[in-house]
Amino acid sequence: MKKYITIVFCIFSLCVHAQYSLTGVVRDQSEGGPVAYATVALMSAADSSADSSIVTGVTTGDAGQFKLENVKPGDYLVRISFIGYETVYRNADVPKQSDLGEILLAESANRLKEVVVTSSRPLIERRVDRYVVNVSSHILTAGRNVLDVLRRTPGLLVSSDGTVTLVGNAVDIWIDGRPSKISGEQLKSLLTSMQGETVERIEVITNLSSRYDAEGTGGIVDIRTKKGLQYGLNGSTNAGYTQSRVDVENAGLQLNYRTSAVNLFGNYGITRNNSYNSLKQKNIVETQGGSVTFDEYTRSKSQKSPVNHQLRAGADFFLSSKSTLGILLNDYENGEGEICLDGNTYINPLSEGVSHAVVHSLSFRSGSGRQANVNFQQILSKPGQQLNIDLDIARFANKPSQNITNTYYGLAGEQAGDVERLRHANPQIINIRSGKLDYSQPLWGNGRLEAGVKSSSSKTDNDLLYEEYVNGNWETDRNQTNRFIYTEQTHAAYLNLSKSWGKWSVQAGFRGEYTVSKGEQRTTGIVNDSSYFNLFPALFVNYAPKEYTLSFSYSRRLRRPSYGQLNPFEIKLDAYSYTAGNPFLTPNYRHLFEVGYINRRNLMVTLSYNYSTDLIVQTPVADESGDKVRYGWIPTNFGTRINVGGMANYRF
């Protein structure tokens, strides 16, 4: 009896964990010969688009044969492709089908009789709402990190601190369809630790559709990495050194482990950054008694260079041929950096008997961030019918502080008054939660409907402590110390429709967003509440004959004031300058129009028109108190602005 139970259990276990193989032979349709080294990709049966989920893949042997192993039961789509041939798709129902038999590939129109012209994807493609730079296996990526690849991507400019701009506006960086949610040194550390060879393509979304948040005006750069088909463990490493006035070092490691049931991936990077900045500026303040001129010269340089660590790790679990569960973790740790600043301010005429002020300061900064994303993709009954769910949680902590020494001199160079010593600490904690659901549905012909909802909340806690050195002791400056807490909730829904007719492609949609914000000064007890609802339409039109692509796009966007811009508390920069926020700021709304042209002979031209209302501008203000004159900067909503821009790129 025990033997019988054991045999039954083994048979049951074999059935539960059974996996199958799928075979076939690829041949040339006209000559009948085998096609060696053709790519055979097994995909979830969503559709034949590039966004289908690839389960596994192989290349054909010398006789054109292939064998896909460790395949779970289910419905699949098999894609067979090779340069010079038309791509072929076959449906496969495993385990009912184990052999696809002979698959014939027809020569593409670009393949001639004796002279073979092999075709590949162009470097730049124009789609209805973006342009795509296909950098895979291109010289753009050879021996470079991802930040260097972005520097060589048409239309993008990358500054020395790693900021990426498009036609003068800073962009958001996404990786594999998801926002990185980091910026500054953390983002620079991540991009320099990733190798360019890991990138499949870069999608530059210059004008955002209704699917994306209405916040932001600079667009999105989505870095799409290669989806490896190779089973087992593989990886790569890189290191870099940059020398200008100061030096920067970086190193990175990428690893990937794949089986038929799971794909594990990770990226670790480390950077050491030195910095140097110099500034020369003149401020003229008009007063009742005439004008006062402040000539300022400052120089800052790293005294202690921070070492920054960046980790990105994740896993994709292939629950079935139609269901995928993903987990993504991001973590960064910035070591404490120390920057020394020395500055001189010359005042004409004298203010309170002072003609020259000298400032010496030491700034300290460190921080960390944790992010987690859980995503689920379910392919429904019809090809192209898909449901995506994303849940995100993040926490960021920054710890900046500064020690300042001000010394004042009279007209003859004598010291005027006592040396002023100040210090402040400004720790900040940001917590973010968000969840979204996206659904796509094919319509008549090649039409497509997309719809979704999203809800997010954030809380920023900013605790500012100012101290002054008086009579040998550090005393809290109650006029400067302040705690400000800012919370914001946004709830959104969108609808998108798209369709193609021959050479024409059109996409139209709208997004509705309801925002509730609250700014609370715990020190003074002042509370400012705000709520508003807006609709954001978007329209994209593409005309694509064989020789060129012409596009037009329109979208309405907004830029919300940040918590720092809303905090009315005054922060002293030095003895004669300060900055403060404005709790009565309203969002800045923008209408963006763009016309684009891409010629297959290497020419790309883009023209843009941007009309903004309620622009948020740092406005200079003057403050007179007795004989003392100060100047400050306060953000205000300032009228309208029209920006006209253009970009041209030619490759040879």
What's the rounded Cα separation, in Å, for the pair 425 and 186?
21
Residues 67 and 156 in one domain: no
CB 397 within 8 A of CB 367: yes
Q: Cα–Cα distance between 361 and 176 in angstroms, integer?
A: 42
For residues 244 and 370, membership in a common domain is answered with: yes
In a domain, 113, yes or no: no
Q: Is 1 exposed, middle or buried (0-12, 13-18, 19+ CB in 10 A)?
A: exposed
Predicted pLDDT of residue 111: 44
CA distance 316 to 324: 7
In the chain, the number of structural domains is: 2
Q: Are 526 and 475 members of one domain?
A: yes
Q: Indicate if the pLDDT at residue 143 is higher than 50.
A: yes
Secondary structure of 223-243 in HEC code, one letter for each residue: EEECCCCCCEEEEEEEEEEEE
Tell me the average pLDDT across 236-249: 84
Separation CA 43–CA 54 (nearest Å)? 4
Are 93 and 165 part of one and the same domain?
Answer: no
| Residue 561 to residue 637: CA distance in whole angstroms | 10
Residues 542 and 396 in one domain: yes
| Helix, strand, coil shares, percent, the chain, to 5 | 5, 65, 30
Tell me whether residue 614 is in a domain: yes
Residue range 130-139: mean pLDDT, rounded: 78
Domain with 344, as residue range(s), is 127-650
Over residues 152-165, the mean pLDDT reads 82
**Residue 483: in which H helix or E strand, if any?**
strand 482-501
Res. 280 pLDDT band, cuts 50 70 90: very high
pLDDT tens string 291-307: 889 899 999 998 888 88
Helix (H) or strand (E) holding 10: helix 2-16
Q: Tell me, yes or no, whether 119 lies in a domain.
A: no
| Greater model confidence, 209 or 160 | 209
pLDDT over 90, % of the chain: 24
Q: Are 575 and 472 in contact (CB under 8 A)?
A: no
The mean per-residue pLDDT over the stretch 337-361 comes to: 89
pLDDT of residue 383: 66
In 3D space, the residue among 464, 484, 467 whose CA is nearest the CA of residue 476 turns out to be 467
Distance between CA atoms of residues 257 and 235, nearest Å: 9
Summarize pLDDT for 456-474 with one digit per residue, the tens. 999 999 888 889 998 889 9
Terminal CA-CA length for the chain: 79
pLDDT given for residue 144 in this prediction: 79
One domain for residues 190 and 308: yes
pLDDT tens sequence across 9-64: 343 333 444 578 888 889 887 767 788 888 898 887 654 444 456 788 888 887 78
When pLDDT is cut at 50, 70 and 90, the band that residue 626 belongs to is low
Say which residue, 488 or 188, is predicted with more confidence.
Answer: 488
Q: Out of 256-260, 418-422, 453-457, 525-529, which region has the weakest mean confidence (pLDDT)?
A: 525-529
Tell me how many degrees the CA angle 66-40-233 measures, rounded to the nearest 5: 90
Q: Do residue 186 and residue 289 come from a single domain? A: yes
Q: Does some domain include residue 436?
A: yes
Q: 403: pLDDT confidence band, cut at 50, 70 and 90?
A: very high
Q: Are residues 377 and 291 in the same domain?
A: yes
Specify the 3-state DSSP secondary structure of 11.
helix
- Whether 116 is covered by a domain: the verdict is no
Whether 424 has a pLDDT exceeding 80, the answer reads yes
Of 105, 136, 168, the last residue of a domain is 105
In this structure, the answer to whether residues 91 and 137 fall within a common structural domain is no
Query: What value does the mean pLDDT of the chain take?
Result: 83
Residues 159 and 54 in one domain: no
Select from 70, 105, 140 the last residue of a domain: 105
Q: Using H for helix, E for strand and C for coil, what is the string for 108-130? A: CCCECCCCECCCCCCCEEEECCE
SS3 147: helix
Asked if residue 147 and residue 88 are part of one domain, the reply reads no
| CA gap 43, 57 in Å, rounded | 9
Q: Whose structure tokens read 């460190």? A: 366
pTM of the model: 0.73
Nearest to 565, CA basis, from 460, 492, 425, 489: 460
Residue 528 included in any domain: yes
Question: What's the sign of the alpha-carbon dihedral 396, 254, 147, 375?
Answer: negative
In a domain, 121, yes or no: no
CA dist 55 and 76 (Å) reads 9
CATH of the domain at 502: 2.40.170
Among candidate residues 44, 72, 105, the one where a domain is terminated: 105
Closest alpha carbon to 591 in 575, 615, 570: 615
Chain segment 547-586, per-residue pLDDT in tens: 888 999 999 999 888 777 887 777 776 667 788 888 888 8
SS3 (DSSP) at 592: strand
Between 567 and 251, the more confident residue is: 251
In CATH, what number is assigned to the domain containing residue 72? 2.60.40.10
pLDDT tens sequence across 498-550: 988 888 999 999 999 999 989 888 877 788 888 889 999 999 999 988 788 89
Which of 151-160, 261-270, 603-612 has the lowest average pLDDT?
Answer: 151-160
Other beta carbons within 10 angstroms of residue 610's beta carbon come to 19
Q: Evaluate whether residue 87 is within a structural domain.
A: yes
Rounded Cα–Cα distance for residues 422 and 46 (Å):
63
pLDDT value at residue 18: 59
Same domain, 146 and 269: yes
Least confident of 5-14, 156-165, 332-341: 5-14
640 in Cβ contact with 612 (< 8 Å) = yes
Beta bridge partners of 423: 403, 467
